[in-house]
Structures are given as structure tokens and as C-alpha cells.
Amino acid sequence: MTILVTGGAGFIGSNFVLDWFAQGAGPVINLDKLTYAGNPANLHALKDNPEHVFVHGDICDRELVRSLLERHAPRAIVHFAAESHVDRSIHGPGDFVQTNILGTFTLLEEVRSWLEKQAPSRREDFRFLHVSTDEVFGSLAPHDPPFKESTPFAPNSPYAASKAAADHLVRAYHHTYGLPTLTVNCSNNYGPYQFPEKLIPLMILNAITHKPLPVYGEGGNVRDWLYVQDHCTAIRRVLERGRVGESYNVGGYNQKTNLEVVNAICALLDEARPNRKSPHSMLISFVKDRPGHDRRYAMDATKIAIQLEWTPSESFDSGLRKTVAWYLDNPDWVAHVTSGAYRQWIEKNYAKRGEA
Ligand code: NAD
Ligand code: TDX
């Protein structure tokens, strides 16, 4: 009953693997390249668990992927591995094309040829679950209806384009070769273990160290926030009951402007870490906008609610409270991820940005 997880040392992948073991769902082979975003410390709780096998390697390495399939004969692949940060894709799109497109292609090719050699019953039961994003659908105007699974793709950043390409390949491998694929397109995740290049952890960590809170543009862009554990539940549900060849939109029903999110973080920190001189919101600083910044994302998650009876269980208020508490309670994790290379990224992305 082994599954192969890719990118299981990253933010969503590690939450998924930890949840998987908490459910007693079976052995996991965890293939991760440990880029700047991959962190073995996220998996510390599994260090003595013989059912968790960590493999340090690249999804673009065909021989490695082939040998893992042959050796472990997984019943499913849950594919998280990706370059995932839009701002980094603007500074340098090459790694995004390599991992997100060619890496997904490598996995699909190796799975296709491995499955051909398997017995029909194993072929039938196997699943390739691809984790994708709402960003493939482009940007919504303020009053547009949310994205459905049938919304045409219109990716705007190099990151979104690379994920859209991967989604198309997954779809084509089902349509052409009958590969038993499933795709999940989800909205912005937040929660424990998120690398602090993304909005919510960046703002929490800057605020507690009294650094400016760099809001792009005027802070009116809208995202639909999904607590990471709700996403993990949705993935498990799609893996168990999803219809082969289909995609499922997953959203949190929590549309917020970035300024609302940052103000909510500041209010929680005013409670938890009161600053006698001024409220944390005084640190908000409007900086030059992200090029091509998508205005709004919102997911219509009716299909997964009706077909698979999944809805999110966390509200934004409760999820954000848990998230802020987690970052305050884990200073060692924070110290580890904010050293060295992280500082260089902050310098690169923010130093020359100037004011909005
Ligand atoms: P992350 O950046 O935190 O983690 C990515 C992981 O993939 C890291 O552990 C990294 O080491 C690993 N990785 C990168 N390149 C690799 C390669 N070539 N071979 C093997 N491993 C490699 O990302 P995340 O936020 O956890 O996102 C996981 C997936 O979910 C991604 O596919 C992303 O596109 C998608 N997604 C994320 C969000 C979000 O809000 N974070 C929303 C929608 C979809
Ligand atoms: O410093 C910042 N200031 C700011 O205003 C950062 C890092 C972000 N922002 C804004 C940009 C976005 O409107 O906050 C919003 C969220 O930004 P990110 O956390 O970078 O996420 P986003 O660009 O929306 O993409 C995320 O959701 C979809 C994930 O990073 C992707 O992996 C996922 O596919």
C-alpha cells in the first residue's frame, strides 16, 4: 500500500505526509531534491518511523524515478514537487520550466512505461495525483464568478504557465495513454511549515522582528485562503474517490484582500506580542507592485463538494490564529530557514523595490 510522494519536504508536501501517517494510511517513499524550499526538519517527527523512506533526489532524474517505481511498486504518486514562488519565477523562470514541466513529464513517462509492465489489476488501481494551482486560470475582475474546472486556462506568470503546461501534460497522458490521473487545482494555502517568502509567514516574521511589512501596490489584490490541513484532506479524498482523468478545484471560501490579511495578522500579534509603542499595523509599507500581478483568484469548489463530499473545515480566523501561534512557538525552525540564502532572496526581491 506504499505511495510515492514528490516534494514531501516542502510546505504542503510535509503537512500531507505528516497527516498521512497520523491517519495510519501506510508507507511513504518521499522523493525531494531539498531545494531552498525543502526542509528535512519539517519531517522530524517521522525520524524513527521505518514506514517513511526519504530519498534525496530530483524528479527530473529518470533512472532514479524508474528504480523507485521498480523497487517499491507504489499504488499511487502524489506529486507536489515544484518551484512554487511567483516572484522567483519573475526573477528567473528557468528552474520553473525544468522542474514543473520537464520534471512532471519525466514522472509521467516513467510511470507510463512502468505501468505497461504491471498486471491489469495493479494498472487499474494505480493513481497519479497531480497537485496544481488556481493560477492556471489567470486573473478575475472584482465581480467575476469564481474559477470552475471548465474555466479556460490563461496563466500570467512564468510560474503559472509552467504549472498550466504540467496540467496539460497530465491531461494528455490520461487522454492518449489511459494513465489513471487526477488533478487538484487549489487556492492559496497557509499554515505551519510554510517558507517565509510567501505572504502570510513573511508578514508574521517581519512583524515580530519589527521590520516593514511590504504590501505590493495598494494591497487590494484578492486571494482565496485555504488552511493547509483542509487541502491535505481534499487530496486524500480525491485519491480515494476521485474520478480518473478529472480535475477538482479546491478553495477555502475565504476571499480577502492582501491588506485585510496583513491587518488580521497585525491584530493577532497585538494580542499575542503587544508592542507598547505602536500597533503592528504601523509597520505596513506599500511597495512597488509585482509585474503582471493577478488581481483576484477565487475557486468554485462545488464539484468536489457534491461528488466527493469535501468542504473546508477551518475558518480564516481560526486558521490564521493557529498559524500565527505556530510561528511564535517554533523559533528554532524560523531561525533555521531565515539564515543565509533567505537573506539574499529578501535583498534581491525587496531592496530595490522602493515605495508604491
Ligand atoms: P514548496 O516550494 O514549499 O515545496 C516544494 C518542494 O518540492 C520542496 O520540498 C522542494 O525541495 C521540492 N522540489 C523542488 N524541485 C524539485 C525537484 N526537481 N525534484 C524533487 N523535489 C523538488 O511548495 P508548496 O507550497 O508546498 O507547493 C506544493 C505544490 O502545491 C506545488 O506543486 C505548488 O505548485 C502547488 N500549490 C501550492 C499552493 C500554495 O499556496 N503554496 C497553492 C496551490 C498549488
Ligand atoms: O511581500 C509580499 N507582499 C505582497 O503584497 C508577498 C510575498 C506577496 N504579496 C502579495 C502578492 C499576492 O497578491 O500577496 C499575495 C500572495 O502572494 P504569495 O504568497 O507570493 O502567493 P501567490 O502569488 O498568490 O501564489 C500562491 O498561491 C498559488 C502560491 O505561492 C503558489 O504556489 C500557488 O500556486
The cell for 227 is: 488552511
Residue 323 lies in a domain: no
Whole-structure pTM value: 0.98
Pairing state between β 222-224 and 255-257: antiparallel
Confirm or reject: Cβ of 223 under 6 Å from ligand 2.
yes
Confirm or reject: Cβ of 147 under 6 Å from ligand 2.
no
Residue 47 lies in a domain: yes
* Average confidence (pLDDT) over 89-108: 98
pLDDT in tens, 310-330: 999 999 999 999 999 999 999
Q: Taking the CB of residue 175, how many other CB atoms lie within 10 A of it?
A: 11
Provide the pLDDT confidence category of residue 164 given band limits of 50, 70 and 90: very high
For position 71, which CATH number holds?
A: 3.40.50.720
pLDDT in tens, 134-161: 999 999 999 999 999 999 999 999 999 9
Confirm or reject: Cβ of 60 under 6 Å from ligand 1.
yes
**How many domains are there within the chain?**
1
Q: Which one is predicted more confidently, 275 or 66?
A: 66
Residue 160 lies in a domain: yes
Q: How far apart are CA 185 and CA 297, in angstroms?
A: 12
The best mutation among 35, 101, 137 to test binding of ligand 1, ranked by most ligand atoms within 8 Å of the C-beta, falls on 35
Residue 332 lies in a domain: no
Pairing state between β 189-190 and 226-227: parallel
Q: How far apart are CA 253 and CA 187, in angstroms?
A: 10
Q: Residue 118 above 90 pLDDT?
A: yes
* Average confidence (pLDDT) over 107-124: 97
Residue 320 lies in a domain: no
Residue 54 lies in a domain: yes
Residue 349 lies in a domain: no
Confirm or reject: Cβ of 99 under 6 Å from ligand 1.
yes
Domain range holding 155? Answer: 3-193+226-254+293-315
Residue 218 lies in a domain: no
The best mutation among 4, 11, 167 to test binding of ligand 1, ranked by most ligand atoms within 8 Å of the C-beta, falls on 11
Ligand 1 atom with the shortest distance to the CA of 12: 26
Answer yes or no: are the C-beta atoms of 4 and 69 closer than 8 Å. yes
pLDDT in tens, 196-239: 999 999 999 999 999 999 999 999 999 999 999 999 999 999 99
pLDDT in tens, 251-305: 999 999 999 999 999 999 999 999 878 999 999 999 999 999 999 999 999 999 9
